[in-house]
Amino acid sequence: MSASQSHSDHGDSWHQHGPDDTPQQEHGSKIQPGVLINSIVLIIGGTVGLMAITLLYFNYWFTQTYRERTDVSLAEEYNVYKAKADEQMATFRWADVEAGKVALPLDVATQRVMTKYSSQNQAK
């Protein structure tokens, strides 16, 4: 402060105080390592947490999208396969022409097996 300026000649009213007032202590004049360490840990922890949340969300989104796209094609393939299998199980067809073996429809074969075993149980 120069000799021409008095202690109360400040442009800001916050800095003004009377001759008997003690000036406020300067903020941040002491380094507080605990506060600095806590701040750094909070910043790093927040960044890692945000990255983890982003990674989990991306993993969830990618998995769901992959399943939706894959399941549709698998469902279509399964439906075609099931229709073909149902048709084969519902009709008479040659199983082996050379051996003279015929495949029976499932309901006919089930009825024959039931009749065979029910007659054997009654004979005993």
pLDDT of residue 81: 92
Global pTM exceeds 0.85: no
pLDDT given for residue 47 in this prediction: 98
Please say whether the beta carbons of 15 and 7 come within 8 A: no
pLDDT of residue 56: 96
pLDDT per residue, tens digit, the chain (124 aa), is 454 555 555 556 666 667 777 766 777 778 889 999 999 999 999 999 999 999 999 999 998 888 877 776 777 888 899 999 998 888 888 888 899 888 888 888 899 899 989 887 776 6
- pLDDT given at position 58: 95
Determine how β-strand 101-103 pairs with β-strand 93-96. Answer: antiparallel
pLDDT of residue 61: 92
Task: Determine whether 121 is exposed, middle or buried from the number of CB atoms within 10 Å of its CB (0-12, 13-18, 19+).
Answer: exposed
Q: State both tokens at 71.
A: 């399941």
What local confidence, expressed as pLDDT, does residue 119 receive?
80
For the chain, what are the domain ranges? Answer: 32-118
Helix, strand or coil, per DSSP, at residue 68? helix
47 and 55 Cβ atoms separated by less than 8 Å: no
What beta strand segments (E) does the chain contain?
93-96, 101-103
Say if residues 90 and 105 touch (Cβ distance below 8 Å). yes
Mapped onto helix, strand or coil, the DSSP state of residue 71 is helix
